Structure 1
Amino acid sequence: MMERCIKRQNCNSFSNPSPPAAAAARSITGGGGCSYMADMNTGIMDETVLQLVFRSINWDPHVICVAACVSRRLRAVARRVLFRELCISRAPRMVSALTSDGAAPAGRLGGGWHALAKLLFFCCGCVAPTRFFAPDRPEPGHFVGESRFSKTSGRSFLARRCWGDLLYVSDLCEHPAAGGGEDLGAYRGVFRGFMKSRTRAWLIGRQAELEPRVRCPYCGARVWSMTAAGLVPRSASRRLGAHEGSLEYFVCVNGHLHGYCWLAHLSTDDDRDDSSGGDEEEEEDGSAEFSFRV
């Protein structure tokens, strides 16, 4: 009996510490057993601190992606804050155009800031054949060292009935053929205010079907084939330097564009003429263009 009483008293002393011991425990934990560990992460998880840290490394997209994989809390902060600041820092004119005049209510873009950041820095390649485009071999996606987006190029991808829309499209990412065949070109872009665009209205009005097996590589949403919808103008092939009819591109429900083409082999004279004509068109249209490096 004596031993049982001693054991019971010892158990009670651990479960119900004396008032001085309990006060000491509360002073260490801040009043709760779990709050101490939570408070340890307050400093590093503070959004202002994180912004200062990533600003000091020039918003390196690789590091932000790694940080977003650490925990759910960091991923949420990265999607809400870090990727937005990355886009604003690297492409300020483009972001300003995409968010002005209520195009992005409360600063929210279709698909999220992380999708726009991926679109800026990542070429999706062409990993699988589609209905109108069948590559000889898959071309995996990859980070790009330099990108250039243009709304003048974007206009070349709009049918005449949709010219009121604003679309930014990147320069081609060229993937040379291994066996001396045709080179593959991959490109990507983004609409401003796609929910209110003429392109979307035309697709919805004509009851264009969404592709069953293709998803947007940037936000994962379903896509329309602009080739199937009959919205690919001839100016797109000329702009890309591709064989006419040998291209396809998709637009997702959030307004992200991605596509592929077979590049035509130009002679030196043709290349020089095409280059000079493009410069004149840029000046006349007043396109907002820029380039940036990772």
Structure 2
Amino acid sequence: MGADDVPSSGQLARSSPHRWDGDGTMTVSKAIAADEWSSGGRCIGARIRGVNVGILDEQVLTLVFRSISWDPRALCALARACRRLRAVVDRVLWRELCVARAPRMVAALSTGPSSGRVPGGWPALAKLLLFCCGAAGAGVPGHLAAFSPFSKTSGRSFLSRRCAGDLLYASDPCEHAMAAAAAADDDDDDVGAYRGVFGGFMRSRTRACLVGRHAPLEPRVRCPCCGAGVWSLTDAGLVPRSACRRLGARDGRLVYFVCVSGHLHGSCWLARLSSSDGGGGDDSHNNRHLPKVKSLCWNLVFPCTCICSSIYTFF
């Protein structure tokens, strides 16, 4: 660098926080560095915020993901980029996905004293809509599910008479073939996994009955949506016969749980509809019970901080 290329000291003082030395090297002014240090880097942070404001704009991100039909894989990839994008995804984009997928259910769940909020948070509700938790006791892993409607009509089938006034949205069962090891002892039955969510669970009759009966939380089962503790409605005697009819459960063999946030999940053995099933005089089926469903403790798509050490690592 030649002498003519070195700016004058007056120019440096007016336009630059740096100082050129006689040998052509540049050093940061101590006064400027001290000012940046004492301000906690707010000046630098302001410049960074100015650069990143486009990608962090919530309206821009909403329009982008609306154009790709709220692809959950793309949402998870965005959330892994940095903490600030993760915060936008958790606070805004999962909510918009839920509204796009189930507008009536979201409207019903977000009304009342906790207006604008849903049980367990928006990431948990998005996971409920998109993820079938499977049945670990039957060797059925969880998976991303095709869109399945949630309805109050299905939910009423899961409520006992004394809890008939509660609001529950439930899905139709997601059918799975049993794993080979489990099927060897159960004549190749199919397993149905289902899920749902209560509206206003803290004020519901179902919760009041569980608390009134001193029902214990299951020590080995956690909610696959939010990671909270769960009650077994089967053990509490709150499973009506209408649930078996609705699901087509074989010999009344079903189990389901509800977490303290109001998320419901469970599974059942599905009755065969083919004529090959016959009379089947095997009484041992009547004495069998579905094993308790254990939540999958592997890293799933959506946040489950009580179970998973890492989040958004499924894809």
Distance in structure 1 (CA, Å) of the matches to 2:96 and 2:21:
59
Q: Which amino acid aligns with 2:175?
A: E
Distance in structure 2 (CA, Å) of the matches to 1:34 and 1:90:
37
Q: Show the 5 A alignment for 1:143-158.
A: 143-158=144-159
In the other structure, the counterpart of 2:89 is 78
Distance in structure 1 (CA, Å) of the matches to 2:173 and 2:42:
59
Q: Which amino acid aligns with 2:29?
A: N
Query: 1:14-70: CA deviations, max 9, x gaps?
Result: 132899xxxxxxxxxx98234322321111101111111111212222211221222
Q: CA deviation at 1:215?
A: 0.4
Distance in structure 2 (CA, Å) of the matches to 1:80 and 1:153:
29
Unaligned runs of 5+ in 1: 1-6, 20-29, 130-134, 269-294
**Is structure 2 residue 224 aligned with structure 1 residue 217?**
yes
Distance in structure 2 (CA, Å) of the matches to 1:31 and 1:158:
55
**DSSP 3-state at the match of 1:230:** coil
Aligned CA RMSD, in angstroms, stands at 2.8
**DSSP 3-state at the match of 1:115:** helix
Query: Higher mean Cα deviation, 50-59 or 172-181?
Result: 172-181
**DSSP 3-state at the match of 1:207:** coil
Q: CA deviation at 1:93?
A: 1.2
Distance in structure 2 (CA, Å) of the matches to 1:240 and 1:150:
14
Q: Which amino acid aligns with 1:216?
A: C
**Among residues 229, 233, 239, which one is paired with 1:232 in the alignment?**
239
**Is structure 2 residue 129 aligned with structure 1 residue 120?**
yes
Q: Which amino acid aligns with 1:114?
A: P
Q: Show the 5 A alignment for 1:239-254.
A: 239-254=246-261
The TM-score normalised by the length of structure 2 is 0.71
**Among residues 200, 211, 219, which one is paired with 1:204 in the alignment?**
211
Distance in structure 2 (CA, Å) of the matches to 1:139 and 1:66:
26
In the other structure, the counterpart of 2:7 is none
Q: Show the 5 A alignment for 1:27-46.
A: 32-46=43-57
Distance in structure 2 (CA, Å) of the matches to 1:13 and 1:63:
44
**Is structure 2 residue 195 aligned with structure 1 residue 184?**
no
Q: CA deviation at 1:114?
A: 0.8
Query: Higher mean Cα deviation, 45-54 or 62-71?
Result: 62-71
For the 8 Å contact 2:119–2:199, the answer to whether it is kept is no
Q: CA deviation at 1:206?
A: 1.4
Distance in structure 2 (CA, Å) of the matches to 1:31 and 1:213:
47
Residues 221, 81 of structure 1: alpha-carbon distance in 2 compared, 3 angstrom cutoff? same
Residues 31, 256 of structure 1: alpha-carbon distance in 2 compared, 3 angstrom cutoff? closer
Q: Which amino acid aligns with 1:143?
A: L
Query: Higher mean Cα deviation, 258-267 or 174-183?
Result: 174-183
The structure that is helix-richer by fraction is 1
Q: Show the 5 A alignment for 1:158-169.
A: 158-169=159-170
Distance in structure 1 (CA, Å) of the matches to 2:45 and 2:108:
45
Number of equivalent positions: 244
Q: CA deviation at 1:9?
A: 7.7
Distance in structure 1 (CA, Å) of the matches to 2:84 and 2:69:
22
Q: CA deviation at 1:202?
A: 1.1
In the other structure, the counterpart of 1:281 is none
Unaligned runs of 5+ in 2: 1-19, 33-40, 276-315
**DSSP 3-state at the match of 1:43:** coil
For the 8 Å contact 1:234–1:244, the answer to whether it is kept is no
**DSSP 3-state at the match of 2:214:** coil
Q: Which amino acid aligns with 1:118?
A: K
Q: Show the 5 A alignment for 1:51-90.
A: 51-90=62-101
In the other structure, the counterpart of 2:200 is 193
Q: Which amino acid aligns with 1:94?
A: M
**Is structure 2 residue 54 aligned with structure 1 residue 47?**
no
Q: CA deviation at 1:221?
A: 0.6
Distance in structure 2 (CA, Å) of the matches to 1:213 and 1:10:
70
In the other structure, the counterpart of 2:297 is none
Q: CA deviation at 1:209?
A: 0.5
Residues 236, 18 of structure 1: alpha-carbon distance in 2 compared, 3 angstrom cutoff? closer
For the 8 Å contact 2:258–2:265, the answer to whether it is kept is yes
Query: 1:184-227: CA deviations, max 9, x gaps?
Result: 11000001111111101111121110011100001111100001
